Amino acid sequence: MVTQRKRDSKGIYREFQGEKYRYWEKRRYYVSQVGGRQRLLHRQLWEYHNGKIPEKHRIQPKDKSWDNFDPDNWECTNKHPNPAYKHPRVLFNGKYYYKQAGRPYYFYTHPEGKKTSLHRAVYTHHKGEIPEGFAVHHIDHNSQNNAPENLCAMPRGEHTAHHRKEQGFTPAMRAGLEKAQLAARAWHSTPEGLKWHSENGKACWKNRKQYVKSCVQCGKQYETYYPTRAKYCHGNCKAANLRQRRRVAEGL
C-alpha cells in the first residue's frame, strides 16, 4: 500500500513497496529516480493492481486529485479520447502529411521546419513542377480530394479571386484586412517605408518610354511621357492657346 505523506530534509514523499517517491510540485506527481530511471507512483500503483499499461494510454485520477492513492480512484484512458484531438494524417511517398486544426489542407513538416502541402506534392509528383506564380487548384472544390485528376495549376491572382467570389469575405477575413491596413499605414510613414517609396518611385520612371508629339499651338515636335493627354510643348504655348481661345469666345 502507499503510505501517507511524509517529510524529510529533501521534502515531501510517499513510500510504495519500500521505495520513496518524491513529490514533484510542478507536475503534482510523486516520482522515484532510483537507479537513474524515472518512475511515477500512480503508474506503478496501477500496474501493481491491474498489469501493464497499454500503449498510448495514460493513468488519471477519477476525482481529479493526484494525491488520492486509493486503487479504485485511478483509471486507464486513451491519450486521445477525442478523435478530433489528434490530427488526421495521410501517407504519400513515404511521408505523413498532417491536417492542421482550422486549415483545410494536409502538410508535411521537414526537419528544418519548412512545410509542404499534400496537394502540391501530389501535383508535382504526377504532373511536374508547378510554374512560378501559380497555385494548385482543387477542381471539385474539395480540399480533401487530392487525386491527380482533381488538381490543376492556376495563376495565384486568378485562384484567389475564384475562391473569394465563391466564399465572400468572412468576419475574420475583414478583421484581418483592417488590421493589415492599420499596420501598413504605420509602416509607410517610417524611415524604412519612406525609403521604399523613394526607390520605388525612381524605379517606376527608369524604363518608362517617351513619345514624340506635335504641339497644337506652334507645331513644334516634343517628347512626352503622356501621349494621350499632352498637347503643348511648353507652358508658354499652353498660355498662348488659352488667350487665343478666349479672344475667339469674346468675338475679338
Sign, CA torsion 236/242/248/251:
negative
85: exposed, middle or buried (Cβ count in 10 Å: 0-12, 13-18, 19+): exposed
Which pLDDT value is given to residue 109? 86
Which pLDDT value is given to residue 152? 94
Mean pLDDT value across the chain? 88
Task: Say whether pLDDT at 81 is over 60.
Answer: no
Which pLDDT value is given to residue 84? 46
Confidence band for 121, pLDDT divided at 50, 70 and 90:
very high
Task: Say whether pLDDT at 2 is over 60.
Answer: yes
Confidence band for 112, pLDDT divided at 50, 70 and 90:
confident
Helix/strand/coil for 237: helix
Sorted by where each starts, the structural domains of the chain and their CATH numbers stand as: 6-78 (no CATH), 89-160 (3.90.75.20), 211-250 (no CATH)
Residue pLDDT, tens place only, 34-75: 888 888 999 999 898 888 888 778 898 888 888 889 988 888
Query: Can you tell me the mean pLDDT for 227-243?
Result: 94
Query: Can you tell me the mean pLDDT for 217-225?
Result: 94
Residue pLDDT, tens place only, 133-190: 999 999 998 888 999 999 999 999 999 888 877 667 778 878 888 999 999 999 999 9
Task: Say whether pLDDT at 114 is over 70.
Answer: yes
pLDDT over 90, % of the chain: 42
Helices 191-206 and 171-188, packing angle to 10 deg? 90
As a whole number of angstroms, the distance between CA 171 and CA 108 comes to 29
Residue 28 region, left (φ>0) first, then alpha (ψ -120 to 50), else beta? left
Which pLDDT value is given to residue 85? 47
Task: Say whether pLDDT at 82 is over 60.
Answer: no
